[in-house]
C-alpha cells in the first residue's frame, strides 16, 4: 500500500492506522482506517477525467463536453468534493521558471525500532518547504520524498540536515530527476479511466498512446 501526503493533502498520512511489527523488506503494510470509499458512477468518472485533463475547465464548458446542464455539472463537482473523490484542482508549475530547477526523489529507510515515531517523522517531513510529495511505501524503504530545490547544494543540505538527521532514520538514497516526461498531458491520448484499468496485455500497445 502507498499512502501519500502532499502540499494539497498534507494530512493524508494521519489516516494511517498504527503499524504492526514487521521486518524491513516485508510488504505487509498498514491499512487506512475507515470504511471502503463508495465508487463514483460513470458520469462522475467522466467529470473527473475532464478535470484531470484541464482543471481550468468552466462548468459551462464541462457541461457542453458531457452533454449535461451547467447546474448538473456544478452539483456533481460539489458532490465529488464533499465525498473526497475530487481533492483539488491545481496548477502544474514549471519549477525551473521560479528558480527551483532541481528535483529529486529521496528514499528513506527507518530503523527497526522506529514504529512509534512513523507519524511524527511524516508530519515533520510534510512541513518542509521543499517537499512536494511524501509517500509512505512498501518494500525495503518506508518513505519516498519528492523534493524541489534551487541547486544540488541545497538538495545536499536538505537531505543531510533535515531528511536524514532524524534519529529514526537508518539510511537514505537520493535520485536526481533529470526530466519529468509525463504529467496530465498524456491523458489527452486516452479516453477515460477504463483505459487505465484495462489489463496490461491489452493496453501496452494502445494506438496513439505514444504518438507525437
pLDDT digits (tens, 9 = 90+) for 134-165: 999 999 999 999 999 999 999 999 999 999 99
**Domain co-membership, 59 together with 162:** no
97 — pLDDT class (breaks 50, 70, 90): very high
| CB contact set of 42 (below 8 Å; sequence gap of 6+) | none
Residue 75 lies in a domain: yes
Instruction: For residue 74, give the CATH number of its domain.
Output: 1.10.10.10
CA distance 80 to 71: 14
Asked whether residue 7 is domain-assigned, the answer is yes
Is there a contact between 104 and 155 (Cβ–Cβ < 8 Å)? Answer: yes
Question: Distance of alpha carbon 75 from its chain centroid, rounded?
Answer: 26
Same domain, 169 and 67: no
Indicate the pTM of the whole model.
0.69
For 189, the enclosing helix (H) or strand (E) is: none
Assess if residue 99 is contained within a domain.
yes
Both 114 and 12 in one domain: the answer is yes
Tens digit of each residue's pLDDT (9 = 90 or more) over 13-29 = 444 333 333 333 333 33
For residues 52 and 122, state if they share a domain. Answer: no
- Residue in 35, 58, 37 with CA at minimum distance from that of residue 47: 58
Same domain as 121, residue 158: yes
What CATH number does residue 126 fall under?
3.30.70.920
Angle of CA points 125, 126, 130, to nearest 5°: 80
Whether 108 and 161 share a structural domain:
yes
**Domain presence at residue 31:** no
Could you tell me the three cell numbers for 8?
Answer: 494539497
Q: Is residue 100 part of a domain?
A: yes
Q: Which domain holds residue 118?
A: 3-18+93-177
Tell me: do 7 and 110 sit in the same domain.
yes
* Cα first-last separation, the chain: 34
Tens digits of per-residue pLDDT, 60-88? 999 999 999 999 999 999 999 999 999 98
Does any domain span residue 143?
yes
Asked whether 29 and 138 are in contact (CB, 8 A), the reply is yes
**Sheet of 131-136, strands arranged across:** 3-6, 131-136, 143-149, 102-110, 169-177
Whether residues 60 and 113 share a domain: the answer is no
Question: Do 157 and 103 belong together in one domain?
Answer: yes
The confidence score (pLDDT) of residue 208 equals 53
Map residue 31 onto helix, strand or coil: coil
Total number of domains constituting the chain: 2
Inter-residue contact 33 to 11 (CB < 8 Å): no
160 with 77, same domain?
no
Amino acid at each position: 500500500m502507498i499512502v501519500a501526503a502532499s502540499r494539497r493533502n498534507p494530512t493524508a498520512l494521519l489516516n494511517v492506522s498504527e503499524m504492526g511489527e514487521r521486518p524491513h523488506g516485508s510488504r505487509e503494510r498498514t491499512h487506512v482506517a475507515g470504511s471502503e470509499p463508495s465508487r463514483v458512477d460513470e458520469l462522475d468518472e467522466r467529470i473527473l477525467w475532464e478535470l484531470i485533463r484541464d482543471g481550468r475547465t468552466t462548468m459551462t464548458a464541462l457541461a457542453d463536453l458531457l452533454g449535461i446542464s451547467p447546474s448538473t455539472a456544478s452539483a456533481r463537482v460539489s458532490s465529488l468534493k464533499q465525498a473526497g473523490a475530487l481533492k483539488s484542482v491545481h496548477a502544474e508549475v514549471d519549477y525551473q521558471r521560479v528558480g527551483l530547477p532541481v528535483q529529486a526523489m529521496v528514499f528513506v529507510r527507518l530503523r527497526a525500532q522506529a514504529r512509534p515515531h512513523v507519524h511524527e517523522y511524516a508530519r515533520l517531513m510534510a512541513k518542509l518547504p521543499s517537499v512536494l510529495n511524501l509517500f509512505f511505501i512498501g518494500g525495503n524503504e518506508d518513505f519516498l520524498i519528492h523534493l524541489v530545490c534551487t541547486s544540488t547544494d541545497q538538495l545536499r543540505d536538505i537531505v543531510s540536515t533535515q531528511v536524514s538527521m532524524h534519529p529514526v532514520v537508518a539510511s537514505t538514497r537520493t535520485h536526481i530527476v533529470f526530466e519529468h516526461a509525463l504529467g496530465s498531458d498524456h491523458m489527452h491520448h486516452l479516453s477515460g479511466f477504463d483505459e487505465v484499468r484495462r489489463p496490461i496485455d491489452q493496453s501496452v500497445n494502445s494506438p496513439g498512446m505514444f504518438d507525437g
